[in-house]
Amino acid sequence: MFAAFDKVFTPENILYLAKGAVISLIIAALSLLLGIVLGIIGASAKRSKFFVIRMLGNIYVEVIRGTPMLLQILLLFSVVPSIYTAFTGEVLRINIYLIGVIAMSINSGAYSTELIRSGINGVDKGQWEACETLGLTHWQTMKLVVLPQAFKRIIPPMISEFITLIKDSSLISCIGAGELLKASQVIGAEYYDVMSPYCLAAIFYLIMTISISYLGRYVERKLAESD
């Protein structure tokens, strides 16, 4: 089963897998950052006084959280270009890494919406009233008072979301993106042994996720000390 392990375990292959791991990490980080932006917009929409905006926010969250990320990636990869071609008659070519980041950001944004909304709801109502007394606008209150406190509360679950995104980045291998899983598949095809490179890929995933998990705990302790 591991007959080719000594051939697979070479500096060249390890470097190739490491490059794939870096790509996975970058895609996950970009998706998290963009997802936070979408989460802020989504949380604001769900807290809006206007019914239509609240409804749009709820639809976004329910649809994205209720469908698989793999399906969302494939829709962006296959369906969106097909629709564009049908209306314009031109071929739309989207970078596969861009597709991965967009799909993962939209997915992460739906989960971030609920995390940020819960963080905002956790801020004491008295602080909202105090900001109104001081004459701050709603946006100034959010920017200067509410969001900083909300993000402090949701950093631990955001770390967990980042770890999830690192693992979910493997899904974009189905559209040909050269992230960590795809790199292990390429090596497996070359040596006719998928078990060895898959095990090496698992080690890389564990190194990334465990490291970020410990970093998250460190940040959480520092935040607790600041309280």
DSSP string of 6-46, one letter each residue: HHH-SHHHHHHHHHHHHHHHHHHHHHHHHHHHHHHHHHHHH
**How much is the pTM?**
0.88
Q: Please compute the mean of the pLDDT values over residues 201-215 and round it to a whole number.
A: 94
- Distance between CA atoms of 33 and 195, rounded to whole angstroms? 34
pLDDT digits (tens, 9 = 90+) for 128-184: 777 777 777 777 777 777 777 777 788 888 999 999 999 999 999 999 898 999 999
Distance between first and last Cα of the chain = 53
Domain boundaries defined on the chain: 5-226
Dihedral sign, Cα of residue 188, residue 191, residue 193, residue 195: negative
**Amino acid identity at 199:** C
**Domain covering 5-226, topology:** MetI-like fold (1.10.3720)
Give the residue, 55 or 128, on which the prediction is more confident.
Answer: 55
What's the Rg (C-alpha) of the chain? 21
Q: Is the pLDDT of residue 4 over 70?
A: no
